[in-house]
A and B are shown apart, each in its own frame.
Chain A
Amino acid sequence: MSEYTGVRGTVWFRAFTGQASPMDGDPKSVLTGDAPLGNEHARFLCVVPDLHGRFPCARHGEVGLEEAFTLATRVREVIEQDKNTIKRPIVAIVDVKSQAYGRREETAAIFLAAASAADAYGSARLAGHPVITLVVGHALSGAFLTHGYQANRILAFDDDGVMIHAMHKEAAARVTRRSVDELEKFAKEIAPMSYDIRDYAKLGLLYKLLHVENPEKPSPHEIRSVQAELVGAIADARRSPVHLRNRLESEGAREMRKASILVRTKLEAQWLGK
């Protein structure tokens, strides 16, 4: 669990939009804003902690019911507004420690809330909006599936405070009966298990790793250079198909996801059959 959760999200949301407030009627845990990016406007979204949120298990930067439905609403709003015009880029700033683990959440079907947010992001992508994810801190498990993983392009900071993973270290250590240190060492040897963002980058899922000296305190120059990278990613997304197969066609995937590529090739060959 990072002490930085929320700090980085807010810092970068503010860096891009010049403010850090939710939209009218939204919970304080979801920041949404439109701001210039390159020579157009983009919609920025970020989930941040709200210690006084309505749901007790979603007060520390987790993605819960309200967060997921708010993201879904604000992304769908863009799809609707740009229906007959140029499709605005959507930028998900990601610093989420996990989904909300609570009884209320399960009772009220957090699986559907999370699916609704992913649906909105995915539908935006399919409608032609460049959806770009910038991972500035943690991007864990169901929280990342909900907020960020449906993007055309994913960028992340090359930084020890950045982590993309299916399960946080403490839980994974418990399940595998190892200490956190042992787990980290063991996971380091198997690329998909590693907690190091540089190993994640080898999987071919990232568009780019960016370097910022201190992601909690970016300089104006660094902010401009990250903005330029976002603009580049948007242009690249606009030039490419709207599906996610670019992740499997990447250089990294050709090395690390050989089995996936073989599955696809063989299945295609058997599809028509007799």
Chain B
Amino acid sequence: MSNEGYSASFINRQSFIELDARERAKALFDAGTSRELLGPFDRMESPWLAMQGVTPQEDDGCVVMKGKIAGQAAVIVALEGAFQGGSMGEVSGEKMTATLDLAAADNEKGIRTNAVILLETGGVRLQEANLGLAAIAELMASILALRKHAPVICLTAGTVGCFGGMSLAAGLASYIVMTREARLGMNGPEVIEQENGVEEFDSSDRALIWAIHGGEQRYATGLADALVDDDTPQVADTIRSFVSKGVPLLHRSSQVALYRTRIAKVDTSRQWDPKEFRALWTTNGSNKEKR
């Protein structure tokens, strides 16, 4: 078979997106250092799905692993986008929150423990509604407590992306890593169209969706810290580099004056072209983000 016309790097690329949550988590640890906690054999499934005719899964779509990254202790919590859209239920939420709390406790004891959260999620799981929302609020509280000690790195690789309440969890992260295939936003196009009409957002306009929520745009507007290819070694390298970098001087979600000024200066009388917005957003704020 001839590879003519394709670059060797493309042919040899090991896709990260094609991996499931468990494989993704494992691939990011230093080789041979990871072990899964509360795995499928612990049978911690959602108590709310079966009563609504939905088949639960024995890990509730949330994989927890502990090991080493760049030689340092680390935990990874990965949401499985293929189970209920990666939605946050009582169990998946508590798995993530309790893991971050245990990591924080280790940090307080002097064991530097980093956290990586792999978010492929539409947000709250509708069938668990208020417990899902509460889980996200508690998760956010735990991210805030942990990130004082060690970086909380958010990776959204695609193809589900990160939406709804979980986009706020991403917003609290120390670093956000995305691929071009990933999307990050609070409200998906369908929801906006339903709430405010097709003039506000045409959810069939794929180009527009990617131009607004896509990894490339988020990186270009300084809202993601790294844009990576769908290449497992490159993703793992990037995560290692942020672990080594440690806690940022200032978290993005704490730089209120900078972002408030930017919002105050934009012209809201019309919709913005996403490309044009890159310039509008980063240049007229006059001051640069401190990281």
Measured CB to CB, the residues of A under 8 A from B are: 54-57, 65-66, 69-70, 72-73, 76, 98-99, 101-116, 118-120, 122-123, 125-126, 141-142, 144-146, 149-150, 164-167, 171-172, 174-176, 187, 190-194, 200, 203, 205, 243-245, 247-248, 256-260, 262-264, 266-268, 270-271, 273
Does the CB pair B44–A262 fall under 8 Å? yes
Give chain B residues whose Cβ lies under 8 Å from the Cβ of A194.
130
Determine how close the nearest CB of chain B comes to the CB of A29; give it in whole angstroms: 13
| B80 on the A face (CB < 8 A) | no
Chain B, Cβ-Cβ closest to A115: B171
Chain B, 56-100, contact with A by CB distance < 8 Å: what is the 0/1 string?
A: 000000001010000000000000000000000011011100110
Determine how close the nearest CB of chain B comes to the CB of A234; give it in whole angstroms: 19
The answer for the CA separation of A271 and B104 in the assembled complex, in Å, is: 13
Does the CB pair A244–B141 fall under 8 Å? yes
The answer for the CA separation of A111 and B218 in the assembled complex, in Å, is: 12
Count chain A CB atoms within 10 A of each CB in B51, B172, B263 and give the residue with the most. Answer: B263
Does the CB pair A119–B38 fall under 8 Å? no
- A-facing residues in B252-288 (Cβ within 8 Å): 252-257, 259-260, 262-264, 266, 268, 271-272, 274, 277, 281
Determine how close the nearest CB of chain A comes to the CB of B18; give it in whole angstroms: 26
19 interchain pairs, CB-CB under 8 A: A106-B187, A108-B262, A111-B184, A111-B185, A112-B253, A114-B168, A116-B253, A118-B253, A119-B144, A126-B145, A142-B165, A144-B137, A194-B130, A203-B130, A243-B142, A257-B131, A267-B38, A268-B98, A271-B102
Does the CB pair B171–A111 fall under 8 Å? yes
| B27 on the A face (CB < 8 A) | no
Report the count of interface residues on B (CB-CB < 8 A).
83
Does the CB pair A106–B259 fall under 8 Å? no
Chain A, Cβ-Cβ closest to B52: A190
Give chain B residues whose Cβ lies under 8 Å from the Cβ of A167.
124, 126, 129
Give chain A residues whose Cβ lies under 8 Å from the Cβ of B167.
111, 114-115
The answer for the CA separation of A268 and B66 in the assembled complex, in Å, is: 12
The answer for the CA separation of A188 and B115 in the assembled complex, in Å, is: 38
Determine how close the nearest CB of chain B comes to the CB of A256; give it in whole angstroms: 8
Interface of A is mostly: helix
Give chain B residues whose Cβ lies under 8 Å from the Cβ of A118.
140, 168, 172, 253
Does the CB pair A260–B91 fall under 8 Å? yes
**Other-chain residue from B66, B145, B164, B186 in contact with A243 (beta carbon distance below 8 A):** B145
Given A123-B254, A243-B141: A107 and B272 interface contact (C-beta under 8 Å):
yes
- A-facing residues in B117-161 (Cβ within 8 Å): 124, 126-138, 140-142, 144-145
**Other-chain residue from B37, B172, B187, B196 in contact with A267 (beta carbon distance below 8 A):** B37
Measured CB to CB, the residues of B under 8 A from A are: 35, 37-38, 42, 44, 46-48, 51-52, 64, 66, 90-91, 93-95, 98-99, 101-102, 124, 126-138, 140-142, 144-145, 164-165, 167-172, 184-187, 191-192, 194-196, 200-201, 212-213, 218, 221, 223, 251-257, 259-260, 262-264, 266, 268, 271-272, 274, 277, 281
Give chain A residues whose Cβ lies under 8 Å from the Cβ of B35.
273
Give chain B residues whose Cβ lies under 8 Å from the Cβ of A106.
185-187, 192, 201, 212-213
Does the CB pair A145–B44 fall under 8 Å? no
Determine how close the nearest CB of chain B comes to the CB of A69; give it in whole angstroms: 4
Contacts A107-B272, A193-B129 known; 6 new A-B pairs at CB < 8 A? A103-B212, A106-B185, A111-B171, A116-B255, A122-B144, A165-B129
**Other-chain residue from A108, A187, A191, A259 in contact with B263 (beta carbon distance below 8 A):** A108
Does the CB pair A192–B131 fall under 8 Å? yes
